[in-house]
Structure 1
Amino acid sequence: MKGDKLIAITKITTSEDFKRIKEANNQFLLFKNSTTCPISAQAFEEFQKFSEGVSEDVYYLNVQESRPLSTEIADSYGVKHQSPQALVFNENEVVWNDSHWRITNTSLSDAAKKYLK
Structure 2
Amino acid sequence: MQESQDQATDEYARALGDAQTRLAQKEAELRKAAENHASEAEQLRCRVEQESRDTHQVEANALREQLAQLEKSVEQEKAQNQELQTEQEKLRAQRDDVSSQLQEVNRANSRPGSS
Q: TM-score, normalised by structure 1?
A: 0.16
Higher helix fraction (1 or 2): 2
- Which of 1 and 2 has greater Rg? 2
TM-score, length basis structure 2: 0.16
Which has the larger strand fraction? Answer: 1
